[in-house]
C-alpha cells in the first residue's frame, strides 16, 4: 500500500481491549505515537460499553480476558446493528488451529499474531480499514455449516470478512514460517559456530600441548647442549689455570695461556647468556636480594676488563659522585649488569679511545650510572632494536665483533627485575654511545668495611693431612685434569667413571669428600651421593654442565653441599674444598 492511499491516523479512533497492563500500555503508546486516538479498556465487557457509548473506528482486542473474551466481544459488536460495520482485529498467539474457526464464527476481520512488531501492527490497521472502505454492502449471510477437527461450526461472516480473515491467517502462517526458517537458520548457524568453536578449542589445546612439549624439548635440548659444551671446557680451563700458577713459565707462554683462558671463559659466558635468556623468557630467573654497594660492584666489574683495556690502551675515567649508592639487589646479577654494559663499551671502542663511568643521585632514592664511550656509535634506526635478543646492529658490526647480541637484552631484563630502567643513546656512526642505568637505592646499613683480597699468583698446595677424595667423572680428559688439580691441592684422589664403579669404591672404603659429575652413563651423581650418605657422612660437591636453578636445587636436595657449574674455576673449587671439608 502506498503512502498516498493511507488513512490519516488522526481521524481514526482505536478501542483497545487488553487485560495485561504492560501490553495495553505498549499498544496505546505505539498507536498514539503515530497519531491515532486511543481508548483503552481492561476486558471485553468494558470495551463493549465503551463502543456503545462512543463508536470507534476499529477495535483491537486480546482473545483471552476475564468477564468477556475477545471472541465474545467481537460477536457482540457484529450482532449490534449500530456497531456491525466496526472492524475487529483479534490479537492472539494463533497456537491452536481452532482459533481460525472461532474467528470466523464471531466474524472477526483480522488477526494480529503475538508477538508482533510495530510495523506489522500499523500495516494491519491500515489494511483492515482500507478493505472496510471498499467493501460493498449486502445482505447478511445465512450461514455456512462446516465440520472442522471433528466439530460442526456455523459461519455467518460475509465473503469479504472470510477472505480477509483467511488472508491474515495465511499471512500470519507465512510470517511464522519465515520466523521458523530464520530460527532454524540461526540455530544451524549457532551449531556451526559452536562446532567451529569446539574445533578451534580442540586445535588450540593441541597447539598448546605442542607448544608446551616444544618448550620442554627446547629446555631439555639447551640443558643437554649446555652440558655437552661446558664439559670439554673444564679440563682446558683447569689445566690452564693450574699452569698459570707456575712461577718459572716463560713470559710468552704465560701470555698464550692467558689468551687460552680468556677464550675459554668467553665461551662459557656465551653458554651462560643462552641459559640466562631461557630463564628470563620462562620467568624462572631467581634473584637473591641483599644490601649491595653499587660502587663496589662497578669497581669489581671493571677489574675483569683490565687486560683488554690495557691491550687497547683505553683511557677509562671513573667519577662515582653519588652519595646514596646502596641498593637492595642480587649481588651477582647486579655485577652481571655492569659487566655486560662495560663489555660493550670496551668491545666497541677503538684503540686509544675514551670510556667514562659516572654515578649521580638525580633524585632522592635513585642512583644513575652513565657509561659513555667514543666508539663506533649507533645509527638512529638501530637504537630501538638494541635491547632485542640476538641483535648487534648492522651486519658489518655483527661480522666484525664477536658475540650473540644478548648482553644488552639480558642487562635490560635484570635492571627491570631490580625495579630500574635502562636507556641507550648515540648521535650516530662513530660518535660514541651512552648507556644510562637508573636504580632505586636503599638506606645504608651499618656495614663492616669491605675486605678486598687478591689471589696470589701461585696457588700453594693445601697444608695438613690429605683429604680422602672420591672423584666421579665420565669424561676422560676432565677426570684426569680434575684429579691432577685435587692432588696438587694435597688430596688423596680415587677416580670413578660411572655410578656402579663409584658405589663399589664407596662400599670398600670411607671417603671424606665426594666431587661428582651429575650426568653419568649409568645414572646420576645424585644416585652416588644418596648411596654413600645412607652408609656414612661425607662432604659432597656437585660439578656439572647442568646449571639451571632446578638442577642446582635437585643437587642440594639430594645431599650435595654445593653445586658448581662447569667449567670450574680452580680458585673457586679450592675455596669450596677448604670451606666445606676443612
| DSSP output for 33-73 | HTT-EEEEESSHHHHHHHHHHS--SEEEEESS-SSS-HHHH
**Residue 385 sits in the same domain as residue 477:** no
Mean confidence (pLDDT) of the chain = 80
pLDDT band at 167 (very low <50, low <70, confident <90, very high): low
10 and 151 inside one domain: yes
Q: What is the pLDDT of residue 48?
A: 94
Whether 141 and 20 share a structural domain: yes
User: What percent of the chain shows pLDDT beyond 70?
Assistant: 81
Kindly state the percentage of the chain with pLDDT values over 90: 35
| Same-domain pairing of 520 and 430 | no
Q: How far is CA 404 from CA 270, 285, 314, 343, in A?
A: 7, 20, 24, 13
Distance CA 456, CA 369 (A): 32
Question: Do residues 9 and 113 share a domain?
Answer: yes
Where residue 227 falls among pLDDT bands split at 50, 70, 90? Answer: low
Task: Tell me what pLDDT residue 455 has.
Answer: 32
Q: For residues 486 and 491, what is the distance between their CA atoms, to the nearest angstrom?
A: 5
Instruction: Taking residues 289-309, report their average pLDDT.
Output: 90
Q: Give domain status of residue 182, yes or no.
A: no
* Residue closest to 378 by CA, chosen among 348, 340, 357, 355: 348
Above 60 in pLDDT, residue 452?
no
Q: Is residue 198 part of a domain?
A: no
Give burial (CB, 10 Å; 0-12/13-18/19+) of 49. exposed
Q: CB 546: neighbour CB atoms within 10 A?
A: 23
Could you give the 3-state DSSP secondary structure of residue 414? helix
pTM, two decimal places: 0.49
Q: Sorting pLDDT into bands at 50, 70 and 90, what band is 188? A: confident
Residues 536-559, mean pLDDT to the nearest whole number: 87
Residues 6+ apart with CB under 8 A from 23: 62
The range of the structural domain enclosing residue 539 comes to 468-581
Asked if residue 137 and residue 58 are part of one domain, the reply reads yes
What confidence tens digit (pLDDT) does each residue in 406-448 have?
778 888 889 998 999 999 998 888 888 999 999 999 887 644 3
Choose one of 440, 456, 476: the last residue of a domain: 440
Q: How far apart are CA 154 and CA 353, in angstroms?
A: 115
Helical H segments across 312-433, by residue range: 331-347, 395-400, 407-417
Same domain? 299 vs 436: yes
pLDDT for 262 beyond 60: yes
Within a domain: 175: no
Q: For residue 487, what is its C-alpha cell?
A: 692432588
pLDDT class of 363 with cuts at 50, 70, 90: very high
Is residue 545 situated within a structural domain? yes
> Is residue 16 pLDDT above 70, yes or no?
yes
State the CATH number of the domain containing residue 385: 3.30.565.10
Alpha helices in 282-393 (DSSP H): 294-303, 306-311, 331-347
Pairing, β 110-113 against β 88-92: parallel
Helix (H, G, I), strand (E, B) or coil at 435: strand
**Domain limit, last residue, from 127, 157, 187:** 157
Do 432 and 304 lie in a common domain?
Answer: yes
Task: Give the Cα separation of 42 and 61 in Å (integer).
Answer: 10
DSSP secondary structure, 518-535, as one string: SEETTEEHHHHHHHHHTT
Whether residue 568 is found in the same domain as residue 497:
yes
- The span from the CA of 349 to the CA of 319, in Å, is 19
Question: How does strand 110-113 pair with strand 151-155?
Answer: unpaired
Between 529 and 381, the higher pLDDT residue: 529
Tally of structural domains, the chain: 3
Assigned C-alpha cell, 484: 691432577
Whether residue 492 contacts residue 467, with contact meaning beta carbons closer than 8 Å, is answered with yes
Q: Are residues 10 and 153 in the same domain?
A: yes
Cα atoms found within 13 Å of the Cα of residue 482, Cβ hemisphere only: 33
Tell me the three cell numbers of residue 306. Answer: 683490565
Nearest alpha carbon to residue 424 among 403, 396, 393:
393
Q: For the segment 68-113, what is each residue's pLDDT rounded down to a tens digit?
A: 999 999 999 989 999 998 999 988 876 666 777 787 788 888 888 7
For 109-132, the pLDDT digits (tens) are 888 877 777 888 888 888 888 877
Q: Identify whether 522 is part of a domain.
A: yes
Contacts of 524 (CB under 8 A, 6+ apart): 499, 518
Same domain? For 401 and 315 the reply is yes
Say which range, 204-213, 298-307, 351-360, 534-543, has the weakest mean pLDDT.
204-213
Do 19 and 139 belong together in one domain? yes
CA 313 to chain centre: 48
User: What CA–CA distance (Å, rounded) separates 258 from 267?
Assistant: 14
Does residue 178 lie in a domain region? no
Task: Report the pLDDT value the prediction gives residue 390, as an integer from 0 to 100.
Answer: 59
Final residue before a domain boundary, out of 157, 186, 205 = 157
Write the DSSP string, 403-467: S-S-HHHHHHHHHHHTT-EEEEE-SSTTS-EEEEEEEE--PPP--PPPPP----SS-PPPPSSPP
Does residue 304 sit in helix, strand or coil?
Answer: coil
Residue 472 sits in a domain of what CATH number?
3.40.50.2300
Please state the rounded mean pLDDT for residues 251-277: 76
Does 162 map to a domain? no
Asked if the structure places residue 379 within a domain, the reply is yes
Amino acid at each position: 500500500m502506498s503512502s498516498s492511499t493511507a488513512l490519516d491516523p488522526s481521524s481514526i479512533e482505536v478501542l483497545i481491549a487488553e487485560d495485561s497492563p504492560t501490553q495495553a500500555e505498549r499498544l496505546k503508546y505505539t498507536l498514539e505515537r503515530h497519531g491515532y486516538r486511543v481508548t483503552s479498556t481492561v476486558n471485553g465487557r468494558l470495551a463493549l460499553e465503551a463502543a456503545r457509548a462512543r463508536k470507534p473506528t476499529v477495535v483491537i482486542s486480546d482473545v483471552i480476558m476475564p468477564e468477556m473474551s475477545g471472541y465474545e466481544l467481537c460477536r457482540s459488536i457484529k450482532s449490534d446493528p449500530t456497531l456491525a460495520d466496526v472492524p475487529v482485529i483479534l490479537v492472539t498467539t494463533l497456537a491452536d488451529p481452532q482459533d481460525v474457526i472461532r474467528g470466523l464464527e464471531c466474524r472477526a476481520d483480522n488477526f494480529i499474531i503475538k508477538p508482533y512488531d510495530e510495523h506489522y501492527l500499523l500495516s494491519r490497521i491500515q489494511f483492515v480499514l482500507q478493505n472496510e472502505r471498499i467493501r460493498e454492502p449486502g445482505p447478511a449471510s445465512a450461514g455456512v455449516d462446516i465440520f472442522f477437527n471433528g466439530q460442526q461450526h456455523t459461519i455467518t461472516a460475509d465473503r469479504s470478512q472470510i477472505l480477509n480473515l483467511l488472508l491474515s491467517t495465511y499471512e500470519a502462517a507465512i510470517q511464522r514460517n519465515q520466523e521458523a526458517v530464520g530460527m532454524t537458520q540461526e540455530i544451524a548457524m549457532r551449531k556451526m559456530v559452536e562446532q567451529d568453536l569446539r574445533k578451534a578449542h580442540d586445535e588450540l589445546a593441541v597447539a598448546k600441548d605442542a607448544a608446551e612439549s616444544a618448550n620442554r624439548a627446547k629446555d631439555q635440548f639447551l640443558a643437554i647442549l649446555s652440558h655437552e659444551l661446558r664439559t670439554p671446557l673444564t679440563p682446558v680451563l683447569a689445566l690452564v689455570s693450574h699452569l698459570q700458577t707456575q712461577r718459572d713459565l716463560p713470559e710468552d707462554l704465560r701470555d698464550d695461556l692467558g689468551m687460552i683462558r680468556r677464550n675459554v671463559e668467553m665461551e662459557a659466558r656465551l653458554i651462560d647468556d643462552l641459559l640466562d635468556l631461557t630463564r628470563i623468557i620462562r620467568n624462572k630467573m631467581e634473584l637473591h636480594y641483599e644490601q649491595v654497594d653499587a660502587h663496589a660492584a662497578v669497581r669489581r666489574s671493571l677489574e675483569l676488563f683490565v687486560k683488554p683495556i690495557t691491550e687497547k690502551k683505553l683511557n677509562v675515567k671513573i667519577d662515582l659522585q653519588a652519595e646514596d649508592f646502596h641498593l637492595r639487589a642480587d649481588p651477582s646479577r647486579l655485577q652481571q649488569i655492569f659487566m655486560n654494559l662495560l663489555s660493550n663499551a670496551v668491545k666497541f671502542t677503538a684503540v686509544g679511545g675514551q670510556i667514562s663511568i659516572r654515578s649521580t643521585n638525580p633524585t632522592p632514592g635513585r642512583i644513575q650510572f652513565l657509561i659513555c664511550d667514543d666508539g663506533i656509535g649507533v645509527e638512529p634506526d638501530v637504537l630501538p632494536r638494541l635491547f632485542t635478543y640476538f641483535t648487534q646492529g648492522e651486519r658489518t658490526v655483527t661480522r666484525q665483533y664477536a658475540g650473540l647480541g644478548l648482553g644488552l637484552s639480558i642487562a635490560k631484563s635484570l635492571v627491570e627485575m631490580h625495579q630500574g630502567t635502562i636507556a641507550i643513546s648515540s648521535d650516530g656512526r662513530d660518535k660514541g654511545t651512552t648507556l644510562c642505568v637508573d636504580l632505586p637505592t636503599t638506606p645504608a646499613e651499618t656495614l663492616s668495611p669491605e675486605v678486598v683480597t687478591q689471589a696470589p699468583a701461585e696457588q700453594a698446595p693445601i697444608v695438613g693431612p690429605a683429604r680422602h677424595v672420591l672423584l666421579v667423572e665420565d669424561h676422560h680428559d676432565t677426570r684426569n685434569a680434575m684429579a691432577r688439580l685435587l692432588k696438587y691441592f694435597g688430596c688423596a684422589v680415587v677416580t670413578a667413571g660411572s655410578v656402579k664403579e663409584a658405589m663399589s669404591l664407596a662400599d670398600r672404603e670411607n671417603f671424606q669428600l665426594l666431587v661428582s659429575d651429575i650426568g653419568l652413563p649409568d645414572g646420576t651423581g645424585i644416585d652416588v651421593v644418596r648411596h654413600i650418605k645412607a652408609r656414612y657422612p661425607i662432604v659432597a660437591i656437585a660439578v656439572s654442565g647442568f646449571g639451571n636453578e632446578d638442577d642446582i636445587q635437585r643437587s642440594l636436595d639430594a645431599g650435595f653441599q654445593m653445586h658448581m657449574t662447569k667449567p670450574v674455576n680452580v680458585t673457586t673449587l679450592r675455596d669450596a674444598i677448604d670451606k666445606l671439608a676443612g
